Structure 1
Amino acid sequence: MPLRRPDERAPPTMTIRPLTATYRVQFSTAFTFDDARRLVPYFRDLGISHLYASPIFQARAGSAHGYDVVDHDAVSPELGGEAGLRRLAEALHAAGLGLIVDIVPNHAGIGGGDNRRWRDVLEFGRRSRNARFFDIDWSAGPLVLPVLGAPLGEILAEGRAGIVVEPDEGRFFLAVEETRLPLRPKSVGDLAAAAAEAADDPALGAAAEAWAGLEDGRFTAGTRRERRRALADALAAEGARAALDAAIGRADVGAVVSEQHYAPMHWREGAAAINYRRFFDITDLAALRVEEPQVFDAVHRLPLALVEEGVVDGLRVDHVDGLADPAAYCERLRARAGPGASLHVEKILGHGEALRPWPVDGTTGYETLNLINAVFVDLAGWDRFSARLAANGHGGEPVTRRIAAKREILERVFSAELDALARLATDLARRADRPVRLGTARDVVAGLIAALPVYRTYVAASADPEDVRLLETAAALARPALSRGEKRALATVTGILADGAADAESAEFVRRVQQLSGPAMAKGYEDTELYRAVALVSVNEVGSHPERPTLSIDGFHAAAGAMAARGLASLTPLSTHDTKRGADTRARIDVLSEMADDWLAACDRWHERHRGLRATVAGLDAPDAIDEDLIYQTLLGAWPIDAARAERYVVKALREARRHSAWVEPGTAYEAATTAFVRALTESAAGAAFRDELAAILAVVGPAGRRNGLAQVVLQACLPGVPDVYRGAEFLEHVLVDPDNRAPVDFEARVRALASDPPEGPDAQKQRLLAGLLAARRADPELFRAGSYEPVPVAGGSDVLAFARRHGSRLLVVAVPTRALAPARGDVLLDLGESVPRRWRRIAGSTEVRQEGRLIRLERAGLPAAVIGEPRE
């Protein structure tokens, strides 16, 4: 069944299904649409309302995640193609479930030659009909491609570059190491013309001239196909290929390279000169200009058509902060998708930051994930861990460390982007009669971006009051480190940003600053500082705020109440494909904040005992004290874990931290010593005593962590928002960061467990708790969607968090303990005020509910609990 274009209006076929819970699946060659279709009965019985799919579009061959899309207008054949997607959607809809799809408008995969639009840009340069799709700064010269394993001069001198031809297709390539890059029409024409002259072949000469004539870019795709076919036919003539081979043999490959629309470079030097915007620092993911209507239409034709036909019920927008104007984008997407489609944006909110008033249903929920985790972290214990981190050499204020890490990444990873911004800033300052030196402009822009406390601002035509406040905050944080002249420059740059898109050059500067500040936060803070700040690592998470890692119950109520007042339907995950630890790993490590002295004393003992397991690398312990603490907490959180998993995680953590190793310059000696240390702890006789002690600690921490984890599941399901279950996380998930959290899911075990009665073991108990809560949500969607949020006073348990949600005559009451090591004895009393129901139905927990006037009494040992009060009869 062919899909309509999104501008070809037809009667809407979408059935609006209440969004009560989502289940995220990761499609790949190992888990296809048909695999998911066979699990639809399980998803229905678990209680979700919508399956939430990873990107389904044509990605690079063998992609494990789908975010490297090479064709936004095709469903991946590796996953099952459009037919497989339709079969899955039909099965879901027949079961009363919906389908949400992750879309990737910010970037496209360009590695491996799979992206036809990118190939076209390489071949035809800025005159390519696809050049406007990508965010390329052509004013900086040829398109820089940091794809070589060695400097180009070295490769040329060693004869490792050449010209190859696919004569049957009329295609010519520069072959450099493993990379094949298309030659521009002029180069092809010159080579073919030389062959024609040598062979005295007028037909080949005419084809060569016609193909070279495509340089001006005014020709249609049909004309290009005709001329390429003519060139291929001419090369098939007798003697033409031999003449071409001879011409290629005489060609100066270096000269041919120098005249291309692109400049292949060693990856290290190319990264400092790159002139196309990337997804963060990944050179194989090129940013798209979806602010251009033509690009928006091309990228969204397929998903919008799927929504219009009712195949897909909602969209999740990846990395909305990467777009030029997220507000305008969301307005356009909503207008095209219609009011019935659910729209969620992946937006990482800073501390105290609210989602801007965009026409979307909400965010993907990292703010709620961190809100939930923070209330389970004991402040006094956190302070002990924080003091240890400072004693280990990573002290200072968390905000200062965050700024320093962002500044470091800007200089190391985004130097080319900073250089371009500095040039723009000096031009704008000169026009404003406030000249700024290039170096000063660069320092000021870097300092301002590093000091910004959120991912980005949203200045468009002008800055709104919130953007002005954020810019003033950033300027105030950056100012103390500046000289008097630099402070004047800072005022100039801040003023340019606050004035917005006064003209085209100002608009470009504002756009580029805002599109760089997000990557600086992601790579500098989340992927660098959070791997350095090894205090209590459970608080180091996407969207977290380790300067405020704990939350009182009153603070939780204030945040949750504000969340309810905003009325959004943001997702509420406890883990995602991007989180640094699984929910149960975090919940177990959180317990350490309640027993900080005991844990840190154990770490001190281990540090002394394991002296012989550490090595000395460049005069330093390997692992050093910070990395050793990370290893101990990681092993506790993920135990049981084998050496291979632990070593893989530790290597990634070391490289992300960039203290003793890095992705671009691995510290191989330090890594080898540290992984040997991990291997000794996990599997050798030298680590036997450690493993025994860890087992004794886990005898206490393990059950406490499970109680924390179950309490967090109750909060996830009952707070304002939409619970989002990550693939497999209905069982205990003691996993670490990607790729550890992408291991295959044993769905057969989960199907069996859900069918068992009673549930057997901790995995099934967690699954059954979740299923009961999700069933309640499906049965009473309005209570969970629109119910108020009201803090409930508690007597008999200072660590018990209790709240009520009311909608009409319906009442949900939730009570969870936030200190898993606190004695589970006695009862707690909840004061519900007036209008207390007389009948209660338990949907979570094992406690009996006893009514005492306006109070209800719950058994502490039966918590966490959630109960629904039935209307009076």
Structure 2
Amino acid sequence: MSIPRATARLQLHKDFTLDDAVGVVDYYARLGISHLYVSPILTARPGSTHGYDIVDPTHINPELGGEPALRRLVAKLHAAGMGLVIDIVPNHMGVGGADNPWWLHVLEWGRHSRYARWFDIDWNSPDPTLNGKILLPFLGDQYAQTLRSGDLRLRFDEQNGHFYFGYFGHRFPLAPASVVRVLRHGGAALKNVASSFPEVHPDEADAFDLHQTRADMLRELAQTEEGRAGIALALASVDPDLNGGVGRLHRLLERQNYKLTWWRNAAEEINWRRFFEVSDLAGVRVELDDVFDATHAVIFQLYAEGLIDGVRVDHVDGLADPTAYCNELRRRLTALSAQRPAQRQDPHPWIVVEKILTHGEALRTDWGIDGTTGYEFMAELGALLHCENGLAALNKLWVELSDGNDSFPTHVLNARRQLLRENFVGEFAALTRAVHAVARTELDTRDISQAAIHRVLTEILVTFPVYRTYTTKDGRSEADLAILERTVADARRNLSPPDQPLLDTLVTLFDTDNIDPDASADALPLRQLAVRRFEQLTPPLAAKAVEDTAFYRYGRLLSRNEVGADPDRFSATVAEFHAFNLDRAQHFPHAMLATATHDHKRGEDVRARLAVLSEAAEDWAEAVRRWKRLHTDFRIRLATEDDAPELVAPSLDDELMLYQMILGAWPFELQADDRDGLQAYAERLAAWQEKALREAKRYSSWAMPNGEYEHACREFLMALLDPERSAGFLQEIVDWVARIAPAGIANSLTQTLLRLTSPGVPDLYQGTEFWDFSLVDPDNRRPVNYAARSLLLAQEDHAHERICQHRGWHQCQLKQPLIHAALQLRKRDPALFAEGEYVPLTVEGPLAEHVIAFLRRHKERQVLVVALRMSLSLLNANLSLRHAAGDVPAHTFLELPQPLPGEHIDLLGGRPVDLHANHIDIANLLGEYPVALIAAPH
């Protein structure tokens, strides 16, 4: 079957290739994984650590081993009874450097390039210096300074006979029409070539052939001494080091199909769609048939041959029409199923999409996909682990220490405004122009000014409640209409009375179904363009405002600041989690279940530990207040302008978030006097801190790093982790870790078990079968010690238990035995989890709110899942249930729909469990361990 039982995500790069993946197949097979799920395998930029900057989708990445290595991996997987799922990137391509042939062709030929339509470029910019050109914001300094520095030079490629401008790792081709201007300065050696091709006009039918013929002549000429001398003369004509060279170089650059500029100008002047605000990732128009075919040809070939079994679609919200794209992808893959080898034929290829769903938002059911990659599951499960009772104390502490006292929604609104003002200026201007063009197509709206449209659009964009809507050829869905209605109501409150009537008018301009019959002939395509611009701007705006800005400004409790989650929704009840799973079982039973990804903000076990602070909120708040007073002398007062408020580093909210990270990611084995260990930990935290400060965009940013503030914050961190300066604080942290570790471990095991048994396909992010106290990338992409994992998996269960008892549960890798047991059960009875019912169970008694339980049931077979939550006051150091007086709490019972006949065992400990009654004492299920997975013996 193409639908996996369970996947394991691997991050591929030059230091962990497809052949390296071959070496871990046996381990994952023994663990119980059915499919490896790997990061993009098509050719990315050399040195890429993630693979999302694809430059050539027509080949397997040679840095990963190319197609031969892929076939070796697949052969190994198939021999182990496993399959392969790949991550695909239809939305964008890497365009920085010199490696994308399609992009380079566009730079060379401009709008005459055969690929000019493939990238989302506005060739009709209102800026006269950009009309018919592409802005290239790749210069490290201002344009004039770059020319004078000599870093940008005209060069000649002897291998292919083409001239280009070289700038460090970048390559900017010389336009064909400009070549003759260079050749004229090459003396007699190049005279024949220049006279043979006085001009190559891009709009002529044979222009491409003529240009190539000329390049071939130059390539041959470059093999001679005379030719090399002539080329050197030609290059010297625009040498910036020679007298007048800078001016001549500038005039030649002005004749190109692009405009080079300082990288800081990208946000305001960009005239092509980027991936988010990344200026070396260009949006691809995959909605065009020829682009779709070209970018997916290798993917379809791999699927037809049976080499891959499914795909994960990256950033589906970036596409012009996700509905059409997903359905076409489904249609094409399904059509290829019959071509696959007999043993791998499947009428239902597995397709999941990376999609952020806000709380209460439903995934569209008309996309023809199996679901998302699981961010919403991670968010719901994370909320389940938090105690609502701690919210008041945490709120009070945050309001007391934070600079602005703003709520999370306010932080998001402020971030959206800032991003529109600073980071997405070019994209927002393109949208405004597109809507203004629509307004001019009709008599009733022709007088609406572009400035007024900009004001109203601002309020729509900052209050937009979801990542995007999905207008199709059939118009808007009821869900989209409801979203727009809500947006209009929220935006109206922020608009002045003169602009409020325009709000309703503006919404009608996005309607592609109801156009005035007297509108101009181009009304429909202009509206379609405006809709596309709008729907491709809201997703990056939302993502950057929430995940990459507000998450780093709002630090009430960082365990709720995770991709896909809403920190404003602090906790969830057991009933809410059951309802979520029931809905998933009904609509998307094969969606992915994740608790860790390559994009997470902090490791799953960091979040699990920090969640425990919601159960000790008063004590935590008191500790933070004490540390704030204790570390007054560690803070640094920075010089500011006379009229500016005093800036102290770190700010109190940055300080509060730092304390959480120190506690949350603290390694079990690290002691308060371990100087080397503390230094290594401090360096990891410092990398997180730098990224956090820049993402927050308050006192520093990626565009304008504030070295003074960042250095002061680093010094503060180093002081905190210096055992000579902060011995008392460090010992308190060690004591806090010891106090909350059992409940943190219980949370980790609970989220692991629920991921493995809830409706859907569980995913295991590389290495997280051991404790995952990683930080944000690149920390969460460090090399995995597979040898240690293989060794532990090979041990007998009782040997592992003895080790745990000797070393302490907190130092034992408890997740791997749990994962192994659950995956083996899924392997023995796949239908139970793929097709089985999800049956929520009632728990009654003093511990009712601390227990979640359900059955997975299929025909006569069933599995009982039981787990603890909010267990700080319930567990001792051995992870066993205790009462305040030291006794196991009694009178908390699990209600079964009916007694379960036959013998049952707890697969995690191997002990028999009696389920022959309707009421089962929780102490009999969880007395020795915080989770239980109970089934009939195999």
* Alignment partner, residue 163 of structure 2: 172
Q: Does 1:808 align with 2:859?
A: yes
Q: What is the identity, as a one-letter code, of the residue corresponding to 2:699?
A: H
Alpha-carbon separation, structure 1, partners of 2:88 and 2:208: 28
* Alignment partner, residue 10 of structure 2: 25
Alpha-carbon separation, structure 2, partners of 1:734 and 1:500: 52
CA shift, 1:580, in A, is 0.4
* Alignment partner, residue 192 of structure 2: 203
Deviates most, 436-445 or 98-107: 436-445
Alpha-carbon separation, structure 2, partners of 1:367 and 1:506: 33
* Alignment partner, residue 246 of structure 1: 233
* Alignment partner, residue 611 of structure 1: 632
* Alignment partner, residue 495 of structure 2: 482
Alpha-carbon separation, structure 2, partners of 1:416 and 1:586: 37
Residues 463-496 of structure 1 deviation map (CA, whole Å, 9 limit, x = unaligned): 1110111111112121111012322222122222
* Alignment partner, residue 380 of structure 2: 371
Residues 415-454 of structure 1 deviation map (CA, whole Å, 9 limit, x = unaligned): 0111111111112123232232212211222221221111
Q: Does 1:225 align with 2:212?
A: yes
Alpha-carbon separation, structure 1, partners of 2:506 and 2:232: 56
Q: Does the 8 Å CA contact 2:901/2:916 hold for their aligned counterparts? A: no
Look up the SS of the partner of 1:215 in the other structure.
coil
CA shift, 1:239, in A, is 4.2
* Alignment partner, residue 851 of structure 1: 915
* Alignment partner, residue 726 of structure 1: 765
Q: Does the 8 Å CA contact 1:89/1:311 hold for their aligned counterparts? A: yes
Alignment of 1:98-113 (within 5 A): 98-113=83-98
Q: 401, 413, 428: which one pairs with 2:423?
A: 413
CA shift, 1:356, in A, is 0.8
Q: What is the identity, as a one-letter code, of the residue corresponding to 1:95?
A: A
Q: Does the 8 Å CA contact 1:194/1:247 hold for their aligned counterparts? A: yes
Task: Note closer, same or farther for the CA distance 1:795–1:497 as it changes in structure 2 (3 Å cut).
Answer: same
Residues 211-239 of structure 1 deviation map (CA, whole Å, 9 limit, x = unaligned): x4152263486665333212333555664
CA shift, 1:780, in A, is 1.2
Look up the SS of the partner of 2:898 in the other structure.
coil
Q: 507, 511, 521: which one pairs with 1:494?
A: 507
Look up the SS of the partner of 2:763 in the other structure.
strand
Q: Does the 8 Å CA contact 1:460/1:500 hold for their aligned counterparts? A: no
Q: 647, 662, 669: which one pairs with 1:620?
A: 647
When normalised by structure 1's length, the TM-score is: 0.94
CA shift, 1:88, in A, is 0.5
Q: Does the 8 Å CA contact 1:100/1:314 hold for their aligned counterparts? A: yes
Look up the SS of the partner of 2:124 in the other structure.
helix
Q: What is the identity, as a one-letter code, of the residue corresponding to 1:20?
A: R
Q: Does 1:776 align with 2:825?
A: yes
Q: 511, 524, 531: which one pairs with 2:552?
A: 531
Q: What is the identity, as a one-letter code, of the residue corresponding to 1:356?
A: R
* Alignment partner, residue 135 of structure 2: 144
* Alignment partner, residue 279 of structure 1: 275
CA shift, 1:203, in A, is 2.6
Q: 423, 436, 447: which one pairs with 2:448?
A: 436
Q: 165, 173, 184: which one pairs with 1:182?
A: 173
Q: Does 1:826 align with 2:853?
A: no
Q: Does the 8 Å CA contact 1:51/1:100 hold for their aligned counterparts? A: yes
Look up the SS of the partner of 2:653 in the other structure.
helix
* Alignment partner, residue 299 of structure 2: 303
* Alignment partner, residue 456 of structure 1: 468
Q: Does the 8 Å CA contact 1:833/1:854 hold for their aligned counterparts? A: yes
Q: 80, 88, 93: which one pairs with 2:73?
A: 88
Residues 661-707 of structure 1 deviation map (CA, whole Å, 9 limit, x = unaligned): 10111111111011111111123411211110111111111222111
* Alignment partner, residue 696 of structure 1: 735
Q: Does the 8 Å CA contact 1:849/1:858 hold for their aligned counterparts? A: no
Q: What is the identity, as a one-letter code, of the residue corresponding to 2:175?
A: R
Alpha-carbon separation, structure 2, partners of 1:217 and 1:623: 62
Q: Does the 8 Å CA contact 2:42/2:60 hold for their aligned counterparts? A: yes
Q: Does the 8 Å CA contact 2:221/2:228 hold for their aligned counterparts? A: no
Q: Does the 8 Å CA contact 1:148/1:265 hold for their aligned counterparts? A: yes
Task: Note closer, same or farther for the CA distance 1:692–1:217 as it changes in structure 2 (3 Å cut).
Answer: farther
Residues 379-413 of structure 1 deviation map (CA, whole Å, 9 limit, x = unaligned): 12133222322222333443233222122112211
Residues 609-651 of structure 1 deviation map (CA, whole Å, 9 limit, x = unaligned): 1111111124222111101111110011111361110111111
* Alignment partner, residue 843 of structure 2: 794
Task: Note closer, same or farther for the CA distance 1:144–1:567 as it changes in structure 2 (3 Å cut).
Answer: closer
Alpha-carbon separation, structure 1, partners of 2:223 and 2:465: 63
Alignment of 1:381-400 (within 5 A): 381-391=390-400, 392-400=402-410
Q: What is the identity, as a one-letter code, of the residue corresponding to 1:819?
A: M
Q: Does the 8 Å CA contact 2:176/2:202 hold for their aligned counterparts? A: yes
Q: Does the 8 Å CA contact 2:756/2:762 hold for their aligned counterparts? A: yes
Alpha-carbon separation, structure 1, partners of 2:578 and 2:441: 51
Residues 92-135 of structure 1 deviation map (CA, whole Å, 9 limit, x = unaligned): 11111110011111111111111111111111111111112211
Alpha-carbon separation, structure 2, partners of 1:47 and 1:250: 66
* Alignment partner, residue 505 of structure 1: 526
Alpha-carbon separation, structure 2, partners of 1:721 and 1:833: 23
Q: Does the 8 Å CA contact 1:108/1:285 hold for their aligned counterparts? A: yes
Look up the SS of the partner of 2:493 in the other structure.
helix
* Alignment partner, residue 781 of structure 2: 742
Alpha-carbon separation, structure 2, partners of 1:215 and 1:114: 23
CA shift, 1:857, in A, is 3.0
Residues 823-850 of structure 1 deviation map (CA, whole Å, 9 limit, x = unaligned): 2223542111236334323234677533
* Alignment partner, residue 335 of structure 1: 331
Q: Does the 8 Å CA contact 1:104/1:317 hold for their aligned counterparts? A: yes
Look up the SS of the partner of 1:471 in the other structure.
helix
Q: Does the 8 Å CA contact 1:111/1:284 hold for their aligned counterparts? A: yes
Q: What is the identity, as a one-letter code, of the residue corresponding to 1:475?
A: V
Q: Does the 8 Å CA contact 1:382/1:536 hold for their aligned counterparts? A: no
Alpha-carbon separation, structure 1, partners of 2:920 and 2:622: 42
* Alignment partner, residue 10 of structure 1: none
* Alignment partner, residue 693 of structure 2: 654
* Alignment partner, residue 610 of structure 2: 589
Alpha-carbon separation, structure 1, partners of 2:540 and 2:457: 14
Deviates most, 795-804 or 108-117: 795-804
Residues 572-619 of structure 1 deviation map (CA, whole Å, 9 limit, x = unaligned): 111000010111000000000000011111111111111111111242
Instruction: Flag structure 1 segments of 5+ consecutive residues without an equivalent.
Output: 1-15
When normalised by structure 2's length, the TM-score is: 0.88
Alpha-carbon separation, structure 1, partners of 2:158 and 2:12: 37
Q: 470, 473, 476: which one pairs with 2:486?
A: 473
Deviates most, 650-659 or 430-439: 430-439
Alpha-carbon separation, structure 2, partners of 1:93 and 1:763: 33
Task: Note closer, same or farther for the CA distance 1:683–1:207 as it changes in structure 2 (3 Å cut).
Answer: farther
Alpha-carbon separation, structure 1, partners of 2:933 and 2:26: 27
Instruction: Flag structure 2 segments of 5+ consecutive residues without an equivalent.
Output: 126-130, 239-247, 335-346, 516-523, 641-645, 668-677, 805-810, 875-880, 882-887
Look up the SS of the partner of 2:726 in the other structure.
helix
CA shift, 1:167, in A, is 4.3
Q: What is the identity, as a one-letter code, of the residue corresponding to 1:626?
A: D
Q: 616, 637, 655: which one pairs with 2:664?
A: 637
Q: 431, 434, 449: which one pairs with 1:424?
A: 434
Task: Note closer, same or farther for the CA distance 1:774–1:138 as it changes in structure 2 (3 Å cut).
Answer: same
Task: Note closer, same or farther for the CA distance 1:177–1:565 as it changes in structure 2 (3 Å cut).
Answer: closer
Alpha-carbon separation, structure 2, partners of 1:172 and 1:577: 40
Deviates most, 176-185 or 579-588: 176-185
| Percent of matched pairs sharing the same residue | 39
CA shift, 1:248, in A, is 4.1
